[in-house]
């Protein structure tokens, strides 16, 4: 195990509870928050700790209250007009100050663009380490530490990292990796509103303008069906067949990194260690060899269907159903069968 080496003279017994740093965008809670709450509840049940969600923002009371319905013991709502629009300084300062004051034992952050921005800064401000892009979190039965597992060396092995000296123990987790917390109708948790000691001068970078992209949104994280293409599609035109198959199934189009690097498809479709992590009901791997970096992003799919002309491709070792053949022949045949039955359900 690798050990974090940031050293402080702290009393570990002063730290309690598991915090989830809730993420909201334009006043709406990001789904990764619900996933982190689900994982935090599992960990908390093993070490008898409370689960507390922390959300920074302003005038989002309704969204904050929704978090109670996922079984958290408390929501700490850091509210200020200065936090209405996301800023690196405003969010990291206000959350770090609260961590220093309340002393949580474990802090979980979503490995989104926002989480990757503020997570390391919060860790630096409170003097602890942070394990990025975790795919598995467990409690050490011997002493209650959190065991944080993530891909290392280009995804060729999994490293388990601990933070034995410092607190809190911090980790970021990719969206789509953990199971969402179950919704409950009659929550018992409470919301505490906190006014941070924050001034305009604390926020160095100012948001001048927000420009939204007009690109079609690709929702890989919540997709029930994903059809992904790899090198085997042999060019951008090959993705026309992948798109037609995905459309027929009512699914989304995914891709391996090789196709993105080759310019065959936009990076928003990339799945894998350096792309999006997904767990759909059915994952179709079309012309994908099954490199470990790609498997890291889709191996938790309920069912994996592999289509590849190479019978020795590694993907056949992990798939639930494998078809050896030319995808340009196999996929049209599958589309034809779906049209005959006029239905497809996951």
- Residue ranges for the binding site? 231, 256-257, 270-274, 287-294, 308
B/e letters for 164-192, b = 16+ CB within 10 Å, e = fewer, are: ebbbbbbbbbbbbbbebbeeeeebebebe
Alpha carbons 49 and 18: distance in angstroms, whole number: 7
Residues annotated in a binding site for FAD: 231, 256-257, 270-274, 287-294, 308
Judge whether 130 and 119 are in contact, CB under 8 Å: yes
- 141: Cβ contacts below 8 Å, ≥ 6 apart: none
**3-class secondary structure, 305:** strand
Alpha carbons 155 and 147: distance in angstroms, whole number: 18
Alpha carbons 14 and 11: distance in angstroms, whole number: 6
Task: Quote the DSSP letter at residue 143.
Answer: T
DSSP alpha helices (H): ranges in 83-176? 88-102, 113-126
Angle subtended at Cα 291 by Cα 285 and Cα 295, rounded to the nearest 5 degrees = 60
Give the CA dihedral 87, 90, 92, 98, nearest 10 degrees.
-150
Give me the phi and psi of 206, to 5 degrees please: -105, 140
Alpha carbons 83 and 89: distance in angstroms, whole number: 10
Alpha carbons 73 and 41: distance in angstroms, whole number: 10
């Amino acid at each position: 195990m690798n050990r974090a080496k940031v050293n402080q003279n702290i009393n570990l017994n002063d730290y309690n509870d598991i915090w989830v740093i809730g993420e909201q965008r334009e006043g709406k809670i990001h789904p990764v928050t619900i996933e982190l709450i689900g994982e935090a509840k599992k960990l908390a049940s093993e070490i008898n700790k409370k689960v507390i969600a922390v959300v920074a923002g302003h005038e989002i009371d309704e969204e904050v209250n929704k978090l109670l319905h996922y079984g958290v013991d408390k929501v700490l709502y850091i509210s200020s007009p200065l936090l209405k629009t996301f800023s690196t300084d405003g969010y990291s300062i206000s959350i770090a100050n609260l961590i220093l004051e309340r002393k949580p034992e474990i802090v979980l952050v979503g490995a989104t663009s926002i989480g990757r921005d503020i997570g390391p800064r919060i860790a630096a401000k409170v003097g602890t380490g942070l394990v990025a892009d975790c795919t598995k979190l467990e409690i050490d039965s011997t002493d209650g530490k959190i065991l944080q597992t993530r891909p290392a060396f280009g995804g060729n092995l999994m490293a388990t990292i601990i933070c034995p000296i410092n607190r809190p123990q911090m980790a970021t987790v990719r969206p789509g990796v953990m199971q969402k917390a179950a919704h409950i109708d009659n929550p018992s948790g409470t919301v505490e509103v906190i006014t941070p000691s924050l001034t305009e001068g604390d926020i160095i970078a100012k948001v001048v303008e927000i420009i939204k992209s007009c690109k079609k949104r690709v929702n890989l994280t919540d997709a029930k069906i994903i059809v992904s293409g790899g090198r085997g599609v042999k060019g951008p035109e090959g993705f026309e067949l992948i798109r037609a198959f995905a459309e027929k199934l009512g699914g989304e189009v995914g891709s391996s990194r090789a196709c993105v690097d080759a310019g065959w498809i936009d990076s928003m479709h990339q799945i894998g260690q350096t792309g999006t992590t997904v767990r759909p009901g059915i994952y179709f791997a079309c012309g994908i060899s099954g490199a470990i970096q790609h498997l890291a992003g889709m191996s938790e799919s309920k069912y994996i269907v592999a289509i590849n002309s190479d019978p020795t491709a590694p993907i056949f070792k992990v798939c639930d159903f494998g078809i050896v053949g030319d995808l340009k022949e196999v996929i049209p045949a599958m589309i034809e069968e779906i049209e005959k039955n006029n239905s497809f359900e996951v």
